[in-house]
């Protein structure tokens, strides 16, 4: 079941992280190089501190992501 796009979604508020459901950016060169891509962005619905709430415009999956650095790695 596909969810509707959240009413809080605004194309001006975007994030470039992989979608855990559809993994549509898997074979994308700009995404692999951690650059902003025209196709594989996510709606940034809201945030509470370092936790961001996202929605994929392709498959409409919604999830939360903690963006704090852990173990010296940079979140994608």
pLDDT tens, position by position, 28-66: 999 999 888 999 999 999 999 999 999 999 999 999 999
Evaluate whether residue 43 is within a structural domain: yes
Residue 76 counted as domain residue: no
In a domain, 48, yes or no: yes
Check residue 70 and give its pLDDT: 62
Residues 32 and 23 sit within 8 Å (Cβ to Cβ): no
Asked if residues 60 and 5 have their Cβ atoms less than 8 Å apart, the reply is yes
Write down the pLDDT at residue 3: 81
Residue at 56 is within a domain: yes
Asked whether residue 25 is domain-assigned, the answer is yes
75 pLDDT more than 60: no
The number of distinct structural domains making up the chain is 1
Instruction: State which H helix or E strand residue 45 sits in.
Output: strand 42-48
Overall average pLDDT of the 13-28 stretch: 92
pLDDT > 70? residue 6:
yes
pLDDT confidence of residue 67: 92
Residue 75 inside a domain? The answer is: no
Domain membership of residue 61 as a residue range: 14-66
Residue 73 in domain = no
């Amino acid at each position: 079941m596909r969810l509707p796009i959240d009413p809080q979604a605004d194309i001006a508020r975007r994030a470039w992280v992989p979608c855990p459901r559809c993994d549509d950016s898997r074979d994308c060169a700009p995404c692999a190089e951690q650059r902003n891509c025209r196709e594989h962005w996510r709606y940034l619905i809201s945030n509470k501190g370092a936790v961001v709430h996202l929605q994929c415009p392709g498959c409409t999956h919604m999830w939360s992501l903690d963006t704090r650095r852990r173990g010296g790695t940079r979140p994608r």
